[in-house]
């Protein structure tokens, strides 16, 4: 998914669940920021707290000869240049797969199936278990920790939402990602845009090839670009059906419908649980899902930068949800994270939460393995 869901839909769902404006904003901005946190260079910081130095984590670099003592837990790749780092297996294992293409559960991993499948609340999946633990932490949090619990929830909701957009793909460079696009339909105009997106995908792959010559881009859904993320599209693709005797299958969906009706409802019910409320009733859901569907019917495929996308989406969503406010800037978050050689607690907490997700998947100090 893209910012239309990760920020705008999550902000709307959090507000509809009853969170006040500041709390809904924290959840939504850190949901989106998972895509935008592209810091992967080691840093020299002078105020690393003890909780970020615990042995289970691998954030603190305790090497006397190394002046760079902090190893960021990178969660995103927001710039086109960042895509060159994704060819490394470490990036696939520690950034792409865990935060954007998380496998369903340990049994799938044991059987060699690292694909992403849509998750539900309480379904025993990796991400649903993490969300349940985060909700428990939030409900028992002190006043001082409340903001950070909301941050953690937002981060996890990003990964949860991506299980709907990225289903049947993995975060690794593999044959299972070599799908072929069959058809693309614009849900706004109802027009067949298969040729249009085939051309866009061709140009996208050419760009990647220029940046990283000789690399076959079959990581995640790279090979069909952003089609699985765009909220206004329906599409069909052919893919390899896993099994002892692999075969070719056809998968089709309306992003608009799946994002609104399935992902939206699961996230709303999760957020209501964070406020000790039961699941949304059908009457209330009919109202919010109809509006969500309309909000997703906007084409931002031609807008290439955050500075253009956010204003366009803000106006569109504000027209549909006039009582809610929308504002997002990844640069503002990054500027708030570090001043000179000192970082804020929000920076350290963000990295700790990200590293904890890796620990859930791979065990203690995962990136040292």
Burial of 361 (0-12, 13-18, 19+ CB in 10 A): middle
State the CB neighbour count (10 A cutoff) for residue 286.
11
Sketch the domain layout of the chain as residue ranges: 3-38+93-328, 40-73+336-369
Burial 130-166 (b: 16+ CB within 10 A, else e): bbbebbeebeeeeeeeebbbbbbbbbbbbbbbbbbbb
Distances (CA, A) of 66 to 49, 63, 91, 149, 259: 18, 5, 22, 32, 46
pLDDT confidence of residue 215: 66
Distances (CA, A) of 287 to 261, 282, 294: 11, 9, 11
Nearest residue to 309 (alpha-carbon basis) of 218, 230, 198? 230
Number of C-alpha atoms within 13 angstroms, CB side, residue 293? Answer: 14
Using CA atoms, how far apart are residues 60 and 126, in angstroms rounded to an integer?
Answer: 26
Give every strand in the sheet of 247-254, ordered side by side.
Answer: 180-186, 233-241, 247-254
Per-residue pLDDT in tens (0 to 9) along the chain, 369 residues? 999 999 999 999 999 999 999 999 999 999 999 999 999 999 999 999 999 999 899 999 988 788 899 999 999 987 777 777 888 899 999 999 999 999 999 999 999 999 999 999 999 999 999 999 999 999 999 999 999 999 999 999 999 999 999 999 999 998 899 999 999 999 999 999 999 999 988 887 887 777 667 666 689 998 999 999 999 999 999 998 877 777 899 999 999 999 999 999 999 999 999 999 999 999 999 999 999 999 999 999 888 899 999 999 999 999 999 999 999 999 999 999 998 889 999 999 999 999 999 999 999 999 986
DSSP string, 124-169: --HHHHHHHHHHHHHHT--TTTHHHHHHHHHHHHHHHHHHHHSTT-
pLDDT confidence of residue 326: 98
State the CB neighbour count (10 A cutoff) for residue 9.
27
pLDDT confidence of residue 218: 87
pLDDT confidence of residue 66: 81
pLDDT confidence of residue 339: 84
Using CA atoms, how far apart are residues 118 and 338, in angstroms rounded to an integer?
Answer: 35
Residue 65 is classified by DSSP as T
State the CB neighbour count (10 A cutoff) for residue 318.
15
- For residues 153 and 351, the answer to whether their CB atoms sit within 8 Å is no
- For residues 350 and 49, the answer to whether their CB atoms sit within 8 Å is no
pLDDT confidence of residue 216: 64
DSSP string, 307-361: HHHHHHHHHHHHHH-TTS-----HHHHHHHHEETTEE-HHHHHHHHHHHHHHHHH
Q: Read off the pTM.
A: 0.95
């Amino acid at each position: 998914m893209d910012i239309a869901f990760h920020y705008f839909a999550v902000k709307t769902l959090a507000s509809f669940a009853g969170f006040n404006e500041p709390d809904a904003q924290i959840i939504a901005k850190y949901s989106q920021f998972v895509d935008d946190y592209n810091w992967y260079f080691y840093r020299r910081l002078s105020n690393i707290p003890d909780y970020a130095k615990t042995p289970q984590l691998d954030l603190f670099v305790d090497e006397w000869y190394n002046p760079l003592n902090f190893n960021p837990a990178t969660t995103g790749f927001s710039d086109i240049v960042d895509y060159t780092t994704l060819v490394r297996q470490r990036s696939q294992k520690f950034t792409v797969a865990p935060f954007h293409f998380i496998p369903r559960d340990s049994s799938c991993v044991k059987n060699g199936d690292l694909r992403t499948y849509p998750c539900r609340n309480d379904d025993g999946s990796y991400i649903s278990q993490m969300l349940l633990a985060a909700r428990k932490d939030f409900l028992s949090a002190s006043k001082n920790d409340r903001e950070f619990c909301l941050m953690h929830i937002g981060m996890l909701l990003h990964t949860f939402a991506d299980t709907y957009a990225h289903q049947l793909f993995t975060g690794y460079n593999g044959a299972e990602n070599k799908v072929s696009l069959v058809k693309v339909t614009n849900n706004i105009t109802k027009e067949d845009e298969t040729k249009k997106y085939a051309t866009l995908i061709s140009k996208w792959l050419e760009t990647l090839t220029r940046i990283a010559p000789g690399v076959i881009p079959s990581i995640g859904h790279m090979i069909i670009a952003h089609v699985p993320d765009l909220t206004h599209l329906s599409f069909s693709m052919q893919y390899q059906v896993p099994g002892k005797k692999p075969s070719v299958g056809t998968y089709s969906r309306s992003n608009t419908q799946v994002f609104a009706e399935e992902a939206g409802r699961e996230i709303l019910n999760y957020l209501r649980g964070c406020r000790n409320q039961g699941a949304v009733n059908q009457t209330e859901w009919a109202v919010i899902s109809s509006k969500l569907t309309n909000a997703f019917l906007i084409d931002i495929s031609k807008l290439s930068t955050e500075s253009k996308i956010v204003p366009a989406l803000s106006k569109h969503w504000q027209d549909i949800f006039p009582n809610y406010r929308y504002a997002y800037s990844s640069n503002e978050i990054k500027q708030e994270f570090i001043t000179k050689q000192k970082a804020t607690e929000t920076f350290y907490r963000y990295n700790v939460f990200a590293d904890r997700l890796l620990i859930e998947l791979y065990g203690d100090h995962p990136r040292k393995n």
